[in-house]
Each structure stands twice: as structure tokens, then as C-alpha cells.
Amino acid sequence: MADGTIFIFGASRGIGLGLVGEFLSRGWRVIASERTHSDGLHALACDHLSIVTADVTDPASYADLGLADGSLDAVLINAGISGAGHQSSDKATGEEVAHVMMTNAFGPAKAGRTLLPKIRDGGTLGFMSSIMGSIADSTGGYELYRASKAALNMLAKGLAEQDAKPRDIEVVALHPGWVQTDMGGQQAPLTVAQSVAGLANVIDDCGGGGFRYLDYNGRVLPF
């Protein structure tokens, strides 16, 4: 879709920033959000890129971004933190649980629901999830991160069924792979460029209703 318009929520660095460059290279119009000024994002400045300031944990920051209803072909909510370093449900404080859940699950779900009217009928709403949010695939460990991404998947599925289905908007939870980012580390097997090329292909092929949990190659993941 060379003339599509996508909103990428969380585009200041890493995979989000890579997605901006990837979609621009494919001829899309991109609206990208940053929490604070991102030199990398502003370095991509061009006629097809608009930059807004928004924080997934602050609904007031994205309540009115001046977007017309039905003006977007796709929205991709890219937000994620690993959470407390110990990653233990036994050690976690209420504040640590709240932080990772609001950033990785409930914040993105609220942002997606808020932006849903801006997506055209038959469009796509994507959430950056992880294979670590799969209950079927889980081997344990990384409990805070895994629980937050599993929660995101559940919230995305519910949004698909209750809010997006009447307008044939497809909702997808996406696993970007293990990527060489600040979170993934340099030992990860995938470069940002490899991950975002696959993710862009998946988004480009989506639309038309329903819910899917997919990796960056478009493979269906166990829920």
C-alpha cells in the first residue's frame, strides 16, 4: 500500500524508529510519536512524516492529536519495558507491577481503543507484543515481562471482539523477534532492519477484521 497512512506510537528509538524509516521507504505517510525529543526521529524529517508528542501512560497526551476519524489505514502501538530487574513475582512490589502493566498492557490497550475511530473501516490496529506473552510457549522466568505481554494479548483480543469487529478492523499482536535493541542486546540474532522489514510486510497484508498473534514473518503464534 504505497499511499497508506500509519500512526506509529512510540517511535523515538529502536524498533519504533526503524518502522518509521521502513514505512517511509515504502511510500507511506507516517505520523510518529515521541515522548521527548528524538534526534533520530527528527533526522528522518520529510514531507511524508509528521511528529507528535505522546506518552502511552498519559491518556491526556494522545486524547486530541488532531487526527480526523477514518484518516488512518493502520495504527501500531509500540511500547514496552522489561520491568524490574529481578523479574520475580515473589519479589515484585505493587509499584513495580503497576509500572510494567501500565506501560506494556493497559496503557497500549487504552491508546489503541482511543485511536480506533481514527482507523478507516477495514484497517489495522497493531500492538507490539512478544512471544514471551504466549502462555502455551512459556518456559517460566521473566515473570513481570511475560505477564505484562500476556495481558496485552488478552486485552488486544478483547478489543478486537468488542470494538474493532463491527468495522472490520483487524487487530494484531506482533512479535518482532529477538532484536538488537537496547532491550534485546547486541547478542540478539536479528537487526532492527530485518525485524521492521518483516513487521511492515505483516502490517501491509493485514486488514479486514479479526484478531491474530503473529511474528515478524507472519507466522501464527500459540496464544
Percent of the chain at pLDDT exceeding 90: 90
Answer yes or no: is 125 within a domain.
yes
Residue 202 lies in a domain: yes
Report percent pLDDT > 70 for the chain.
97
Grid cell in block for residue 97: 507491577
- CA gap 11, 143 in Å, rounded: 26
pLDDT in tens, 74-112: 999 998 899 999 999 999 999 999 999 999 999 999 999
* pLDDT tens readout for residues 212-222: 999 999 999 99
Residue 185 lies in a domain: yes
The answer to whether position 95 is within a domain reads: yes
Q: Tell me the per-residue pLDDT of 20-35, one tens digit each, with 9 for 90 and over.
A: 999 999 999 999 999 9
List, by residue number, the catalytic residues. 129, 145, 149
Residue 91's alpha-carbon distances to 18, 31, 85, in angstroms, are: 35, 39, 10
Question: Residue 173's pLDDT is what?
Answer: 98
Q: Mean pLDDT of all residues in the chain?
A: 95
Q: What is the pLDDT of residue 21?
A: 97
Chain-centroid distance, C-alpha 166: 22
pLDDT at 199: 97
Is the residue at 140 inside a domain?
yes
Provide the domain count of the chain.
1
d(CA 7, CA 222): 27
Residue 209 has pLDDT above 70, yes or no: yes
50-79 pLDDT, tens digit each: 999 999 999 999 999 999 999 999 999 998
Q: Specify the pLDDT at position 183.
A: 67
Q: Which CATH number fits the domain that encloses residue 34?
A: 3.40.50.720
Give, as one character, the DSSP assignment of residue 222: P
The CA distance from 199 to 4, in Å, is 15
pLDDT at 178 over 90: no
SS3 127: strand
The residue segments making up the domain with residue 98 are: 5-215
Confidence at residue 1, expressed as pLDDT on a 0 to 100 scale: 59
Task: Answer yes or no: is pLDDT of 125 > 70.
Answer: yes
114's grid cell:
482511543
- Residue 156: inside a domain: yes
Cα 212 to Cα 44, 97, 157, 158, distances in angstroms: 31, 26, 8, 12
220 domain-assigned: no
Q: Can you give the pTM of this predicted structure?
A: 0.95
Other C-beta atoms lying within 10 Å of the C-beta of residue 34: 21
Residue 2's pLDDT is 63
**pLDDT at 184 exceeding the cut of 90:** no
The answer to whether residue 222 is domain-embedded is no
